[in-house]
Amino acid sequence: MFEAPSRWNPERNLWCEVLYRTVEDATKGPRHTPTAHDKVRIKESARDYLTRPSADLAMVCALAGVDMWAVIERVRKKVDRLAASG
């Protein structure tokens, strides 16, 4: 009957959003946190998660349709640039 285009995949879009939010947490910090300490802790946790290979990250990347090693490399570069800028 009706077939959605192959690029329209709700499950893939969901996992892409999970990665996007985690990258935001790693670079800008979470949007809503009760304390500054929590914001720093969440940011560090997200950076650790996205810059080290793990079975969980590999699964999320696979479900999002992206290469885990490319994610790790790009996030490492972004984090390094942020650290250098202050």
**Per-block mean pLDDT, blocks of 10 residues, the chain (86 long):** 63 94 94 88 96 98 96 96 87
What confidence score (pLDDT) does residue 7 get? Answer: 66
Within 52-85, residue ranges assigned H as helices are: 55-64, 68-85
Tell how far CA 65 is from the center of its chain.
13
- E strands along the chain, which residues? none
What residue segments make up the domains of the chain, in order of their start? 19-84
CB 75 within 8 A of CB 53: no
Reading phi first (left if > 0) and then psi (alpha if -120 to 50, else beta), residue 65 is in left
pLDDT of residue 5: 55
Cβ atoms of 49 and 57 within 8 Å: the answer is: yes
pTM: 0.84
